[in-house]
Amino acid sequence: MNFATFEPVYEAILADFGFDRADDERVRDTAADLATPFPLGRLGDWADETVAVAGAAPCLADEVELARDADVVVAASTAADALADRGVAVDCMVTDLDKNPETAAELTRDGVPVAAHAHGDNLPAVREWLPRFADEWTLATTQAAPVGPLHNPGGFTDGDRAAFLADHLGAGELVFPGWEFDDPAVDPMKALKLDWAARLLRWLERRRDERFAVLDGRRADADAALREILGEAFARDAADQ
């Protein structure tokens, strides 16, 4: 997905959360100064592969075999640690550096790619951790317009960014161990982020003409939100199905 396609949804996310685009761009520019170019081909050829996009929900412990059986494993944040504890190696980690940046840095030093994300409120983490990562294995990403060495394949939270990255690399099938959208223990901000993750996965599902089991029971609400944001583009997607 290119940024022009993603931008209307990005603007809706900014408005819903009250985020300032200029903050995203400021941190993006800092990351651009610290990062080096990362050709996406370095991640390998995921065409026709089954890619497990592993979330960090507690249910990952019960769904780990879904990751173990996949051709490629992309882990969101602390899912990388949970999978490692169960003997499942990851092929890529996606993180905004807020929970386990030590794991991300170690993975890059071991030759495992890490998509390190810069957004409006993680400037200290970007400044502290990007210089500690092995440049060759660090893919710097942004949710704003990409500049310099930064990429934006789409997505907002670690998990849905991982799914959009897999799609961008031509994944044949996406599976979703460790995902849970309905967690009564999370605060309102996290709950809203989970809502957006579901909407974004639904958008990706529609664009791929695929059905993600993790979205069962959530499609109608996601479609209503996407229809309001995307308008005619949403209608065109529907006509293509």
* pLDDT the model gives residue 114: 98
**Phi and psi at residue 138, to the nearest 5°:** -115, 115
Query: Pairing state of beta strands 173-175 and 50-54?
Result: parallel
Residue 30 lies in a domain: yes
Residue 63 is classified by DSSP as S
pLDDT at 238 over 90: no
* pLDDT the model gives residue 235: 67
Residue 241 lies in a domain: no
Domain span at residue 123?
A: 3-234
How many residues belong to the chain? Answer: 241
SS3 state at 140? strand
* pLDDT the model gives residue 240: 54
Give me the helix-helix angle, 232-240 and 188-208, nearest 10°.
50
Residue 171 lies in a domain: yes
- Domain count of the chain? 1
* pLDDT the model gives residue 216: 97
User: What pLDDT digit, counting tens, does each position of 156-172 carry?
Assistant: 999 999 999 999 999 99
User: What pLDDT digit, counting tens, does each position of 26-82 carry?
Assistant: 999 999 999 999 999 999 999 999 999 999 999 999 999 999 999 999 999 999 999
Residue 215 is classified by DSSP as G
* pLDDT the model gives residue 212: 98
Residue 240 lies in a domain: no
Mean pLDDT on 173-195: 94
Residue 170 lies in a domain: yes
Residue 96 lies in a domain: yes
Residue 239 lies in a domain: no
Residue 62 lies in a domain: yes
pLDDT at 3 over 80: yes
The pTM score is 0.96
User: What pLDDT digit, counting tens, does each position of 186-215 carry?
Assistant: 899 999 999 999 999 999 999 999 999 999
SS3 state at 125? helix
- Least confident among 63-67, 225-229, 231-235: 231-235
* pLDDT the model gives residue 141: 98
CA dist 15 and 63 (Å) reads: 35
pLDDT at 232 over 80: no
Q: What percent of the chain has pLDDT over 90?
A: 93
Element (H, E) at 94: strand 92-95
User: What pLDDT digit, counting tens, does each position of 117-138 carry?
Assistant: 999 999 999 999 999 999 999 9
